[in-house]
Every structure is written in C-alpha cells, then in structure tokens.
Structure 1
Amino acid sequence: MRVLRRGPGLDERLEALREAAGLAEGRLPADVVADAHAVAERAGVRRSLSVTHTVAALAGATGSGKSTLFNELTGTDLATVGVTRPTTSTAQAALWDGDGAGPLLDWLEIPRRHALPDPEPGLTGLVLLDLPDHDSIELAHRLEVDRLVEVVDLLVWVLDPQKYADAAVHDRYLRPLARHRDVTVVVLNQVDRLPPAAVDRCLADLRRLLDDDGLSGVPVVGVSARTGAGLPGLRTLLADRVSARRSWAERLSADVATAADALEASSGVPGTSSRVSGLDKRLTAALAEASGVPLVVDAVGKGHRHRAVVATGWPVTRWVRRFRPDPLRRLRVGSPGSSTGAEIVGKTSLPAASAVQKAQMDTAIRDVGEAAADGLPPSWAPAVRRAARSRADDLADALDKAISATSLTATRRPRWWRAVGGLQWLVFATAAAGALWLTALFALGYLRLPEPPTPTVLEIPWPTVLLLGGALAGVLIALLSRLAAWLGGRRRARIAAKALRAAIAEVARADVLDPVAAELARYTAFTAALTRARDLA
C-alpha cells in the first residue's frame, strides 16, 4: 500500500494545538479545551490509519434524494429509498477498493460495508457513506450524523430545491464548517423538477447563501439522481478529490484551525499586558513598611552604638551598659558578631503589621495584578490577578526570614573595637597603677614612716599624673569611640536599609512578580501556539 506523505506543517499545527490546549487548562471553558484535545487526539488516530482512502459522506435532509444519489453513484440498490420519512437509520459504506480500509471503518464505527463488484477505476480508494437524515425525528439518527460529520474526510451535502435554504442545515452544519470549505461539496439534487431557467436561479441563490455562510468557493453541483443529469460532473469532482489523496489532510488541517478559532474566541480578543515596572518599587516599599524594615534599620544603628560602647567604653563604667538589652537582640535579630555571641534562630520578634500597613501591602499587590492583567482578554485576566496573590499566605514568613538573614550580615564587629578595647584596658591599668602608688604613699604617711622620693612632672607627682592621666585618657577615648560608633551606626543603618530593601525586593519578585510573570508567559505561549496552529501551511 502506498502511503502518502503528510501535508506540510500538519505535525507542527497539531503540536501547537496540543500546546495551546494544555496552556488553556484552568483558564478557558473546560468544554472548549476538551474539544481541542479531542481534535488533536482524533487527528493523530486518523493519520495512523489508511491515507490512500478518502471517506466521503452523503449528508442531507429527509426527502432530499440522498439515498437515491448514493445508489446511482454506487450502481447498486444498497440504500432503501423513501420520500417523506427517514429510511436510513445507520450509516453504511460502499467501497471502491476495500483493501486496507477495515481499520479505518472500524474507527468510524461503520458496521455495514459493501465492496463494489465492478468499481470505476477513477474512484479507486473512495469510501462513500450514506448517512441518516440530519433532520430525522429519531434522536439517534441526528447524533449519528453529528458524529460522522466531525470525522469524515469529505462532506457532500445533498440539498433539494424545496429546502436548500432551510436554516436548520445552514445554521447547524454549513456555517460552523466555514473552515472546511476545502473538504465540502454541495449538491442540489432533483433539478429535474425545475424549469431550466429556475435551475440557474436556484443555483445562484444557493451560491449566495453559501457565500453568506463563509463557504465561498465551495463546489455547487446541480444533479438529478432520477434522470442522471449532472452525475458525470459529480463523479469527476469526486474522482479528482480521491486521486489527490489530500482530503484527509485538508480535513485535519481545517479541524485544527477550527479548534484554534474556538480557543481564541473563548479567550477573548488577544491583547498585550502593560508592563509592571515601577509598581515593583511601590510593592517593595509597601512590603518593607509592613514587615518592619524601618524598625530594623533603626535598631541596626542603635545596636551598633550599643555594642561599640560595650567593647570600647571606659572599663569602670562599661559594665553598666551590659544590663541594657541589645536592640537587635530584643527583636530577635542577631548574629555571631552580636553582643552575646549567639545566633538567633526561628522567627524574629518584630511587631505584626498594623491594619494600615496590611492595607497598603494588599493594595500594592492588587495594583501589580491589575497592571499585569490590563490589556489581557477577560478570560485570562483573573488568572493573572490570582497569580499575584497566589503566595500571599506565605508572604509574612518569607519577609521575616529575609529580614533575619539579611540582618546577620549587618551586625559584624569592626576590627578597631578590639584595638580600642585593648587601649582602654591599658589606660585603665595606668590609672590603677597611679592609684595604687598614691595609696602606698598615703599609707606610709599615715604610719609616719619615711617616704621614698617621688618623681614629678612639672612639680606634679608621677602617681597623680598616672591616675588623672589614665582616667582622662579613658574618658576621652570613650567619647571619641562613641562619636565613631555614632557615625558607624549611621553607615551600618544605610547599609542595612539597602540590603533589607534588596532582600524584600527579592521576596516581592519570588512571591508576587514571578508568579505574575509566569502567568503572562503562559498567555504569550498560548497566543503563539494559536498562531502556529492556525497559520502554518
């Protein structure tokens, strides 16, 4: 069996349709998405079956002469002919070449099959179906027509002069099949009942109706199944379609385009979202305010000065400072370099956000979602808004962790503290030595013992110089250290503010902006997939 090469671009279009349907899940109506998946699955099955056979279906209303036309085309009496009542209850197939068509007919669920004993060579490969009447009073008949109209390769609509303009066939079948014009043929049967001039008028009016249905260019053939008029032209048309071996691919291509159209229609008019740059700064500021960043920044400066006094203050008085709590430790924000030397674990003790701060944070998050959704179709905009708030429940913990981790790098002890602390102990020792010397001289004088000679500096005894000089030096060093600690605290506060804002911005990106960006990227991929599904040739 010779296998025809697949139509150009069909693989890409089917893959694009699958991608678009997958991306649309949870965003578009479930029935539209399911239909797109069904089209892709059905197309995959049809391509795996015989592509050397063309399945053409004769569809029409009761009394249109569809079954008579079926008998004339096949040269048999397979179809039971009626006039005013439906006589075709199930579809039956006539095969001009049945070799290899079995699996295809099994998939189509056509149990009644007839291999023609003397088929015309020009129609080899044709599988002609006689369908039940689409306007049958039996619901099962109409459902059978609807099922097969969705899957056959070539649709041949048989109309009659009395009901060719019937809204039932145009609204329910022909207009929705506008994408399938390449696999549609319209036959006006029973033209023998009309005067020659009326035939032309009917055909022209039928052409106008088809153009209104979006089926311009669809072949319209006037025939008479009773007299045989027009049948050679219809046979030639069918032979051309069968010999081209392209109807199955054109049918699948039209199915893909129709499913893509339905996805686009359900999503709304394609749009482009506005940028959210600029709102990210507002979002970061709101999150920083609500998470207590200003309080932490203030505590970083105060904590730096507190630890500086403990490390570089006058040893006689510095111990008093140890009874004051470290501002960062009080907030449970610390580091190995803090005054206690222990690292804080767990959550911080920052106060919960106030109602105003929470409102500002919620407003900023909502503004990001609204700005990102602006310009998107109504069906997709809610998904973007939901994405902006998708991690709102975890936002408080993420902000708290970010503040705690960032503050660890903002509380390291400067090296000069150790040097100044050593110097303070040195001057303290000097003052203590002077005090001990003076104490010894006082004791000798009190006991009226001879006093050793005491060296002087400009007539001031050395013990006094050591005591007073050490005390004054210690106080001076402490004051200078406090000034340096104040300047260092401001610098550390600025560094901490910058680092905390960066950490909060990262949380905003990860928990708000990234989910929004992912949803926007999903929409962009969806529209790109739709474009490929519709436009690839």
Structure 2
Amino acid sequence: MSAADTSLAGRVRALAAAVQAADGRSDAKVVTDARAVVERAGERVAFSGGWTVVALAGATGSGKSSLFNAVTGTELARVAVRRPTTAKPMAVSWGTELPHELLDWLDVTGRHLVPSGPHELSDLVLLDLPDHDSTEVSHRLAVDRIVQLVDALIWVVDPQKYADAALHEGYLRRLAPYAEVMMVVLNQADRLAPEALDTCLSDLRRLLDAEGLGATPIMAVSALHGSGIPELREALARTVANKQAMTRRLSADVTVAAGALAADLGTAAVPDLDERLQRQVVGALGAAAGVPVVVDGVRRAWRKRGTAATGWPFVTWLQRLRPDPLKRLRLDLTPGDHSPTDVNRTSLPKASAVQRARADQGLRELADRASAGLPRGWATSVRDAADGRRSVLLDRLDVAIAGTELEVRKGTWWWRLFGLLQWLLIAAVLAGAGWLLANPLLLGLGAPPLPSVRWYGIPAGTWLLVGGVLAGLLLGVLGRALVEVGANAHAAHARRRLEESVRTVVAEEVFEPVDAELARYRLARERVAEATRS
C-alpha cells in the first residue's frame, strides 16, 4: 500500500469516527453525506483490483458518443441525429475479462470488452454517460449518480455551448475540489479556424480558473477527424499507469465531506464546567432535595439526644417524650425502625417554590454555560443532558440523602460519663433526703435515730440533698453548652456528608452526561481535523 493509500485510509477512519460522534447532533444532511463518503470509499477500495474508472460526460450535441467511439476504436456508442442518443451508462474495458463486480456497484448494465493482450488501457473502465442536460429526468439522475462514483471525469464541450450555465453552475463550479481528477475536452475543434480555436480555449481556461478549476487540464480534439485523439488516449494511459486516480478522487471526497462537517461544528472554544458553577448547582439541588432540613434535623437531634443523656434526670425525662427530629424524617433509623417492606426513603417536605426556582435556575445556568458557542444541535444535546433526567435526579437525591450516614446515633463518650455522674448525684440526693427523713420516722416508730453528722454545722443529709441538686443542675448546664457545641459541629459535618452524597448523584445524572456530550463534541472536531489533513 502506497503512502497516499495509507494516508487516505487513516483519513477515512477519522471521518467515520467524526460521523459517529456527530450523528444526531450536527446537520442531518451533512452527516448523511459524510457517512455516504465513508461507505463509498470502503466499497470502492474493495472493488479496486487496480481498475481506474473514467467517465465521459457532456451535453446534448457535444459529440460525446462520437468521442467515446473514437477513443475506444469501436462503434458501440450510438451516434444519431435524434437527441439524446445515450440513454444509459455504457462501459468499455480492454483485456481478457470485465470487472463485473465493480460494474455492478456502478450499476452499469451496458458492458463491452475489447479483447487484447497487455495494453496501455488494460486497467481502464471507460464510461459513456447520458447527456447531463437531457430532458429525461432519469438521464440526469444517472449522470448525477455516476459522477459521485467514478475515479475521474472528462467533460466534453463543443464550441457553441462550452460556457453553458447548465454545465458550469450545475456541475463544474460545485466540483471544484475535484479539479485534479477532471479534464475538459473541447470537441469539434475542426469547426474553428486556428485563431478562433485559440480564443475559444483561452476563454474556456478563463472560465475554469474563475471557478476554482485551475488544476483541470483542457484539450482540443476532433472526434470526426481524429485530431487530438492520440493525445487523449495518452492522457488516459498516464492516468491508468499512475494508479492514483481512485485515491485522489476519494481523498477529495473526504476533504469535501470533512470540510462541510467542520463548518457545521464551528471553531468556537469548547465550553467547560468550572468548579464554582458546579458548587452552585450542587447547592441549589441540595437545597431543593432537603439538605438544609436534614442539617437542622441533625442539629436538633444531637441537641435532644445529648440533653437527654447529660441533663438532670428529674427534668430530662420530658425530652424523651418528644419525637426525634431525624426519625420523623425517616433518617438515622435503626434496622428495627424499618418494616420488612420499607424502601430507604425520607419523609422530607417537598421543595418550596423558591427552592425549585433555584434548582431550575442552576440547571439552566449550567446548560447555558456548557452549550455557549456550540452549534444548535450540539447545544440542544448538552441541554438535554443537563436536564433530561430531572425526575430520576430528584428521586435519586432523596435516596442518597436517606442513605447518608449522619453519625448521630451513637452519641459520644462524655455523654456516658455525664450520665453516670448525674445518676451518682441523684443517688446522693436520694441518700440525703432519706437521711433527713429517716430520724423522724425512726422516732415515731420508737427506734433509735441515725447518728448525727454535721459539716460546718449543717447536717450531712442536707449537704447531700442540696449539693446533689445544685451539682446536677450545674452539670446539666455544662452538658447543655457542650451538647450545643457538638450539635453545631455535627450539623456542619452532616452538611459536608450530605453535599458529598448530593454531588455524587448530580455528577452521575448531570455533570457526567454534560461532560460526555462536550467530550463527544471535542472528539468530532478532532477527528474532522484529522480527516481534513491531506
């Protein structure tokens, strides 16, 4: 395989990858045309076998069929006064066999073999096409189809209609990228005097150059008298011997398709999702999903549980009668709190109108930023990726919040210490009260009293009773202060954990799909750039 063939194969693969990436996002016609080029290139290379396909195309009365007969040395093309004379494409090849599979692909049924040994035109398939200006629609469609498939084109013109708009505007101008695989032959040169012929050729050259066909050679021939025919056969022989017509034609196809796709993709900078914007979206969706409510629930639950564990037992028993803030939200439940058929979901209140508006605004801003400067189809796909799974997103956020470990169930070690001290102080209070009440009871029963113990003139029972109450209350106040500090710290920790859970879900449902679309857009542009490089 030559270097040109290797380069073409790589460009076709790059174009195929660009088509796959752009499918459903770029202009449908542009993508369809590019896909057709990829398919056509693969099919044409598979049928190659060293054959070069050249087509003769021209207008009615240009003498195209006569020229075909002159070049092939046959009378296969029907020449008549009635026009058009060529109804269907016809093929001629030299050698010992016809390339039937290639002709099947070209859908050319008229096939003729010129038997010969090794020959300068042995690997040539020469086609005679219907007139491109025929009044028969089927003729014009056949020309348009074959023009897209052949390796090289010879446009046959005559002195009267060489500047015809049907040829120049309908074909030559739009085929400018294929200038290197085309030739324009001025037939019926015998009708012009030498000076008139030079003028005609100069004017034809000027027209072609103005249309971007400076690389397209021109030649004057006379099919009737045979002048210029040997030179035309020699040009065909060089094209066949060079073995590059197919590669250059397919390369031009890839260049045209890749150029159209590149124009559709644009050249604007590819947007990116910056961290600040992601934080805003996570915050807005977290608020809509109930993160502030859960954080407040963690704070109040820690406060309630801590106060109940460390406060004065004569007062804190009332705390135990109040409902737990987190369990009311169906959060931080123990396995026993669930029924066997429960799904791990919350009972968070629905987002307020303000919260929903913030969430919608965050998603819109994300979509707008991520799609800024993109072509319409790509911008739509980015917006769909950002907002296309909203119902699933909100459902997953609820489940993620329900599954976040809030770390408030176990409390902390000093709660148990304070609780033990409180019960010891309760024991002291009970002992003091019992001591103070015991002697009157014993005297009433006629029993000896307990020994009197005083400290600073105050009975020990009083010290135990009053001291236990005061110490318990003071310990409860200290515990409440420490619980409040812990409640705020755990609320902040819970917020971070919840935001991590929210971010994980939002990343999977929003950021990653948007990033995937942007990566797909980058890939399409990169592959188009590869396909464009010849």
- Give the structure-1-normalised TM-score: 0.93
* Alignment-derived partner of residue 181 in structure 1: 179
* CA deviation string 1:156-195 (max 9, x = no partner): 1111122222222222222222222221111111122222
SS in 2 for 1:350: coil
How far apart in 2 are the matches of 1:369 and 1:228?
69
Letter in 2 for 1:315: P
Q: Is contact 1:24-1:526 (8 Å) kept?
A: yes
How far apart in 2 are the matches of 1:138 and 1:270?
43
* Alignment-derived partner of residue 395 in structure 2: 397
* Alignment-derived partner of residue 466 in structure 1: 464
1:500 and 2:501 are equivalent in the alignment = no
* Cα distance, 1:410 vs structure 2: 5.3
For the structure 1 residues 449 and 166, does the alpha-carbon distance in structure 2 shift closer, same or farther, using more than 3 Å as the test? same
Matches within 5 A, 1:162-311: 162-265=160-263, 267=264, 269-277=266-274, 278-311=276-309
For the structure 1 residues 178 and 119, does the alpha-carbon distance in structure 2 shift closer, same or farther, using more than 3 Å as the test? farther
How far apart in 2 are the matches of 1:98 and 1:146?
30
For the structure 1 residues 473 and 422, does the alpha-carbon distance in structure 2 shift closer, same or farther, using more than 3 Å as the test? same
5+ unaligned residues in a row in structure 2: which ranges?
none
* Alignment-derived partner of residue 7 in structure 1: 5
For the structure 1 residues 220 and 117, does the alpha-carbon distance in structure 2 shift closer, same or farther, using more than 3 Å as the test? same
* Cα distance, 1:444 vs structure 2: 0.6
How far apart in 2 are the matches of 1:467 and 1:123?
124
How far apart in 1 are the matches of 2:251 and 2:470?
95
* Alignment-derived partner of residue 22 in structure 1: 20
Letter in 1 for 2:483: A
* Alignment-derived partner of residue 62 in structure 1: 60
How far apart in 2 are the matches of 1:410 and 1:404?
14
How far apart in 1 are the matches of 2:110 and 2:301?
91
Q: Is contact 2:26-2:375 (8 Å) kept?
A: no
How far apart in 2 are the matches of 1:156 and 1:433?
120
Which of the numbers 362, 385, 388 marks the counterpart of 1:387?
Answer: 385
What do you get for the CA RMSD once the two structures are aligned? Answer: 2.3
Which of the numbers 454, 457, 464 marks the counterpart of 2:455?
Answer: 457
SS in 2 for 1:432: helix
* Alignment-derived partner of residue 445 in structure 2: 447
SS in 1 for 2:451: coil
Aligned residues: 531
How far apart in 2 are the matches of 1:198 and 1:220?
16
Q: Is contact 2:346-2:398 (8 Å) kept?
A: yes
How far apart in 2 are the matches of 1:205 and 1:58?
22
5+ unaligned residues in a row in structure 1: which ranges?
none
Structure 1 stretch displaced more, 64-73 or 365-374: 365-374
* Cα distance, 1:26 vs structure 2: 1.2
Matches within 5 A, 1:55-94: 55-83=53-81, 85-94=83-92
How far apart in 1 are the matches of 2:134 and 2:527?
40
Q: Is contact 1:17-1:530 (8 Å) kept?
A: yes
For the structure 1 residues 460 and 4, does the alpha-carbon distance in structure 2 shift closer, same or farther, using more than 3 Å as the test? closer
* CA deviation string 1:472-496 (max 9, x = no partner): 2222221111010011111112222
* Cα distance, 1:305 vs structure 2: 0.7
Letter in 1 for 2:357: A
SS in 1 for 2:377: coil
SS in 1 for 2:55: strand
Structure 1 stretch displaced more, 517-526 or 357-366: 357-366
Structure 1 stretch displaced more, 65-74 or 121-130: 121-130
